[in-house]
Chains A and B, each alone.
Chain A
């Protein structure tokens, strides 16, 4: 919580004024029963009608002042809460931008989105309610008691007892039921899990004839949920009757004590009425306070989660070399090993190779062999565990992120497009690229034709997630985006998987004809995509099991040969055999 307090900076005035005006309003509210005493004792007692009218006008005036105070307080609270939340949100967003892939993996994307959205919203309403109520409710409870003391000490002792009992009941029931409600939530989640899994697997379940099993499992989860709900319901059902009993018994006791005091001439009838009124005020506020505590607990949990993200520091330190080249550069791996945070084994083990400027490097291997991990090290999205990676003869850790990544054009495995025009998407590659340059990149990426076919061409809007493009189209746009920056290093991470063989070949040809042609990395499961590479690195479970040209590997590398044959089998057409 402490860490987040600094975001209140700039809202100090609001944070003080909000609760302060709430206190003022509460004080006026506490004065009302005293006015009633005056009416009963002096007004009615002496038959003074003008006094009664006066007092009633005072009540209206008190209400009006209370209204103004309260509105002011609401305004300041809302301002502080909203401003605070906006600041936290901004800080969190910018903090996430500074994290490295390792931290992003640790937190998880969906968790980050939750922190940014629902967690912050809950925090905002928590702050708002706290500023509004946290002082007001206890003040009224304590205030009513204090007022009672000013009227009569003996009667006021009843207030002390009632307040203690009420707090015990309200918070006791809450303490018991909150963990139980959590259990209910767990059972609900379990039921949801059973249902969802049953629906997703409906084909398999029916294929195996397991409908009855599913029904039974659902019924078990359903019954378990209802059992817990009824149980917790039984306990929380005590709240209303018990508080009702305490308050009203308190009133009866108060009347009795009051009668004795009046008999001794210590109290008046009007004062007894005032005491009864104060007693009724306590209950509402105590329940409000109880609800507030629930909100605060939830908000505090959200705050804790947000804080954890904010406190997380990037595990990488940025270098300071800002030299960035436009011409092709070399990429060298020296005995590089890499292990993911918390993983048991190495994802890459002592990998070495040298890719000359402008050369083509193929990387092949089964799923999970470490291909994507390897290319992520070139742009320093992760830091190597051992060894080093050099770009243009310099360790990647010496560059600034912008200089290093500015040299690299990457087409990720999963093509992602963003909401906005095609132009805007392509300009991610290079913010000041002209339309001519964009069309050139589209042409190379074999995307020119379908973009021309779209209404508005470059101005055609991409919907969220790029759902208005086919998989192959998205992939080609992602390729164009990488080409727009005329990168010194171009990385295609299995980017041709959604393209047919002919388009794939045309794309590779266009890239080879680029001038200057970038140092190219092709990652793929298809041997056809890299047959003509200068070097091919064969990976298996993080180990380099072969490095050489297609022809060399067919002779020397058993794994490569197997992959090749699994794709072409015996029936290899003329010309593709060495």
Chain B
């Protein structure tokens, strides 16, 4: 029941999208009706023509010509109707799906990071692309087959009734048998396919594990054992598959047999009727051809309905995304943060990702322009969270964060974020050229500026060694570049855009220590006069900071510069010493 009302809501939403194409829809329905009814008229005409051919009598050529001409006309109209209907349906379906995708993307850009962080990218992509695509397929099938199918069945029934009610009864009585047989086999095979899927899954897991780690397998000479395990599953799969495939393949022959029965029944009753003069030979031939076609739309419709149910489920997943709550919209009074000085104040900030698990509590911090702030602490202590709050990727639950004396909620998000230069541990490069990637923060940069930035980040020499230099196209996820090289490119971005404030979250974690030292010099120059936040686990990189925040469980437990913290002999001193033990 609940599922049904949910489906209704989804259908309503789909209807709204379709409504934009309502004239095309009306046209398409009209064309579908004309083409399916006219194509039912053809067997009647054929029957009439056959009745005009009577052995041993004077042939009525004039009548025959008329009937055949009428046939030609009907064929022409049907062809045109069908083609236009298909074109309309294509237009409508792909249009609807494009609109839905468009709205999804619009929504994604407005969703808070809290949503995107908790939903894996793969899942969202599969909703926006694969689910939307499946929905398109289902919708197209629905448009083009459901309506015509129903009309064809109804039309056939009516026409058969008009021609000969008794024969219609025969057809109506026997056809359910075909549906019954089909659904019986479908139920049987469902469990078999389930078993097959399970065994197949087992085998895929094994293949994934063994072949995915083939190198480990070889290092331990484990090949024979793996083969044994594989063989065992493979044999089981063979047996299950054989049964599943065989049983499912009995559907067509069985329904074909039942259709054969219908055909024989019509032939029998029809032939007797012709002898009794209640039917002509042409009408019999017409009824036989109806009997042949009658079951086809039934099978089609049951296929379409499964397909449509699937499509609605897919649409539901996509539309759900559109209905997600967007981030708090910007107020009209939001100001643009320009040339920030770098005064940052956090007062009484509380934040948690989930209400049950408190993370940051009553955090207070005051940073003056040009200050270098390092944040250290064990994993999960809230370092990265603090950065999420500064960039307003997440909003604080309580308290406020001010930049240059104004609450960050009163700035436009765009201006706040572009005032910070951010380098993260997880590097992300856009598919495109290296040049485009570097110039992300400053799209109008000249080549000289780009090269200069790359030189400062010590990325220039490796970029030059690539086949096409700065024009080298990097694929999804950086492709050919090593993790360290990707990080260097991300650093170059910042070196180019020179934002007034900096956030470096494990920015050099994948770079070997020697190169890191060289980059540190460039960073030092960059940080000069800019408020910066540095998160790092290598303590050597944070010794130079003006102030070090030692965080634990969402609180700042120690604060001071390197020397004073070592002198305190507290948490930081312990952490620092442990790397030499």
Asked if residues A233 and B90 are in contact (CB atoms below 8 Å), the reply is: yes
Asked if residues A113 and B219 are in contact (CB atoms below 8 Å), the reply is: no
Asked if residues B242 and A78 are in contact (CB atoms below 8 Å), the reply is: yes
Asked if residues B75 and A245 are in contact (CB atoms below 8 Å), the reply is: yes
18 A-B pairs, CB-CB below 8 angstroms?
A36-B288, A56-B265, A59-B260, A59-B267, A60-B260, A67-B253, A78-B246, A90-B231, A202-B113, A248-B75, A255-B46, A272-B50, A367-B484, A368-B484, A381-B218, A401-B221, A428-B220, A501-B579
Q: How far is the CA of A198 from the CA of B430 in the complex (A)?
A: 8
Asked if residues B271 and A43 are in contact (CB atoms below 8 Å), the reply is: yes
The interface of chain A, by Cβ under 8 A from chain B, is: 25, 32, 36, 39-40, 43-44, 47, 49, 52-53, 55-56, 59-60, 62-64, 66-67, 70-71, 74-75, 77-79, 81-83, 85-86, 89-90, 93-94, 96-99, 101, 104, 109, 112-113, 116-117, 121, 124, 128, 132, 188, 191-193, 195-204, 206-211, 214-215, 218-219, 222-223, 225-226, 229-230, 233-234, 237-238, 240-242, 244-245, 248-249, 251-252, 255-256, 258-259, 262-263, 265, 268-270, 272-273, 276-277, 280, 366-368, 379, 381, 401-402, 405-406, 408, 410, 412, 416, 418-419, 428-429, 431, 464, 481, 500-502, 505, 525, 528, 559, 562-563, 566-569, 571-573, 576
Say yes or no for B157: interface residue by CB 8 A criterion: no
Cβ proximity bits B102-126 to A, threshold 8 Å, 1 near / 0 not: 1001101100010010000110110
List of B residues within 8 angstroms of A567 by Cβ: 513, 540
List of B residues within 8 angstroms of A113 by Cβ: 204, 207-208, 211-212
List of A residues within 8 angstroms of B449 by Cβ: none
List of B residues within 8 angstroms of A204 by Cβ: 422, 424, 428, 440, 490
CB distance from B477 to the nearest CB of A (A): 8
Q: How far is the CA of A567 from the CA of B543 in the complex (A)?
A: 12
Asked if residues B484 and A234 are in contact (CB atoms below 8 Å), the reply is: no
Asked if residues B257 and A64 are in contact (CB atoms below 8 Å), the reply is: yes
5 closest A-B pairs (Cβ-Cβ)?
Answer: A237-B86, A63-B260, A233-B90, A366-B512, A566-B513
Q: How far is the CA of A316 from the CA of B49 in the complex (A)?
A: 77
The contact of A56 among B267, B292, B422, by CB within 8 Å, is: B267
Asked if residues B417 and A207 are in contact (CB atoms below 8 Å), the reply is: yes
CB distance from B184 to the nearest CB of A (A): 15
* Known interface pairs A82-B245, A419-B205; A249-B59 also in contact (CB < 8 Å): no
List of B residues within 8 angstroms of A229 by Cβ: 90, 94, 136
Q: How far is the CA of A254 from the CA of B128 in the complex (A)?
A: 52
List of B residues within 8 angstroms of A36 by Cβ: 267, 288
Say yes or no for B162: interface residue by CB 8 A criterion: no
List of A residues within 8 angstroms of B122 by Cβ: 196
CB distance from B276 to the nearest CB of A (A): 10
CB distance from B167 to the nearest CB of A (A): 13
Asked if residues A241 and B83 are in contact (CB atoms below 8 Å), the reply is: yes
Q: How far is the CA of A566 from the CA of B211 in the complex (A)?
A: 39
Q: How far is the CA of A572 from the CA of B576 in the complex (A)?
A: 11
List of A residues within 8 angstroms of B431 by Cβ: 193, 197
The contact of B59 among A93, A98, A263, A572, by CB within 8 Å, is: A263
The contact of A573 among B46, B55, B285, B577, by CB within 8 Å, is: B577
Say yes or no for B226: interface residue by CB 8 A criterion: yes
Say yes or no for B414: interface residue by CB 8 A criterion: yes
Say yes or no for B320: interface residue by CB 8 A criterion: no
List of B residues within 8 angstroms of A268 by Cβ: 55
Segment 184-239 of B: residues with Cβ below 8 Å from A: 200, 203-205, 207-209, 211-223, 225-227, 230-231, 234-235, 237-238
Asked if residues A188 and B218 are in contact (CB atoms below 8 Å), the reply is: no
Asked if residues A116 and B211 are in contact (CB atoms below 8 Å), the reply is: yes
CB distance from A177 to the nearest CB of B (A): 13
Closest to B257 in A: A67
CB distance from A362 to the nearest CB of B (A): 16
Q: How far is the CA of A96 from the CA of B95 in the complex (A)?
A: 46
Asked if residues B257 and A502 are in contact (CB atoms below 8 Å), the reply is: no
Asked if residues A192 and B109 are in contact (CB atoms below 8 Å), the reply is: no
The contact of A412 among B215, B246, B256, B420, by CB within 8 Å, is: B215
Q: How far is the CA of A252 from the CA of B78 in the complex (A)?
A: 15
Say yes or no for B249: interface residue by CB 8 A criterion: yes
List of B residues within 8 angstroms of A223 by Cβ: 98
Say yes or no for B39: interface residue by CB 8 A criterion: yes
Asked if residues B430 and A197 are in contact (CB atoms below 8 Å), the reply is: yes
Asked if residues A500 and B578 are in contact (CB atoms below 8 Å), the reply is: yes
Cβ proximity bits B236-264 to A, threshold 8 Å, 1 near / 0 not: 01100110011001101110110011011
Asked if residues B95 and A226 are in contact (CB atoms below 8 Å), the reply is: yes
Apart from A116-B207, A367-B510, what 16 extra A-B contacts exist at CB < 8 Å?
A25-B253, A56-B271, A60-B261, A70-B256, A109-B211, A113-B211, A197-B476, A226-B95, A244-B82, A255-B46, A256-B64, A410-B219, A418-B209, A567-B513, A568-B540, A572-B580
Say yes or no for B354: interface residue by CB 8 A criterion: no
Closest to A112 in B: B211
Q: How far is the CA of A353 from the CA of B53 in the complex (A)?
A: 101
Asked if residues B581 and A248 are in contact (CB atoms below 8 Å), the reply is: no
Say yes or no for B491: interface residue by CB 8 A criterion: no
Asked if residues A207 and B420 are in contact (CB atoms below 8 Å), the reply is: yes
Asked if residues A52 and B268 are in contact (CB atoms below 8 Å), the reply is: yes
Asked if residues A74 and B422 are in contact (CB atoms below 8 Å), the reply is: no
Q: How far is the CA of A116 from the CA of B211 in the complex (A)?
A: 9
Closest to B467 in A: A344
Asked if residues A255 and B234 are in contact (CB atoms below 8 Å), the reply is: no
* Known interface pairs A86-B238, A276-B46; A255-B68 also in contact (CB < 8 Å): yes
Say yes or no for B23: interface residue by CB 8 A criterion: no
List of B residues within 8 angstroms of A251 by Cβ: 42, 46, 71
List of A residues within 8 angstroms of B571 by Cβ: none
Asked if residues B68 and A256 are in contact (CB atoms below 8 Å), the reply is: yes
Cβ proximity bits B30-51 to A, threshold 8 Å, 1 near / 0 not: 0000000001001000100110
Asked if residues A367 and B482 are in contact (CB atoms below 8 Å), the reply is: yes
Asked if residues B90 and A418 are in contact (CB atoms below 8 Å), the reply is: no
Asked if residues A59 and B263 are in contact (CB atoms below 8 Å), the reply is: yes
Q: How far is the CA of A113 from the CA of B210 in the complex (A)?
A: 10
Say yes or no for B393: interface residue by CB 8 A criterion: yes
The contact of A237 among B64, B87, B109, by CB within 8 Å, is: B87
CB distance from A75 to the nearest CB of B (A): 5
The contact of A405 among B124, B221, B422, by CB within 8 Å, is: B221
Asked if residues B393 and A93 are in contact (CB atoms below 8 Å), the reply is: no
Q: How far is the CA of A217 from the CA of B292 in the complex (A)?
A: 51
